[in-house]
Amino acid sequence: MQQMLLNFQPTVQELFVLCLTEERHWLAPYRAPEKGLFTCILSCFQVHRQQESASSALEQLRQEASRQGHALAKVSKEKEVLVHEKAALEVRLAAVERDRQGLSEQLTEAR
């Protein structure tokens, strides 16, 4: 088994996959002879992880923006309903005021 591992000559793609799967201990024999390749692969791995993290953060921001958009739409609808209710109450108040004024005048005439 040990001899078979020593004869293992991974391709660049296989080395990259090893980085992605975090099986870096398999890469130890390749550090010294191809240090530039290893550094490049490790950099690719780090960039890949950063991209995954950024993608995840971006998705979370998108979901939060969506939630805020829904909340804003709900509040806007509630505000619209309240504006209509206020207008209806103002109309009723004006009618009550007219009735009160009319009753007050009738009371004054009746005296």
Which residue, chain included where needed, has tokens 């391709």? 11
Rounded-to-integer distance, Cα 54 and Cα 19, Å: 19
Helix (H) or strand (E) holding 28: helix 28-31
Domain boundaries, the chain: 2-110
pTM: 0.50
Instruction: Look up residue 21 and give its DSSP letter.
Output: T
> Residue-wise pLDDT tens for the chain (111 aa)?
344 445 556 666 666 666 656 555 555 555 545 566 667 677 777 777 888 899 999 999 999 999 999 999 999 999 999 999 999 999 999 999 999 999 999 988 887
Residue 22 region by backbone torsions, left for phi larger than 0, else alpha for psi between -120 and 50, else beta: left
What are all long-range contacts of 3-9, with beta carbons under 8 Å and residues at least 24 apart?
Answer: none
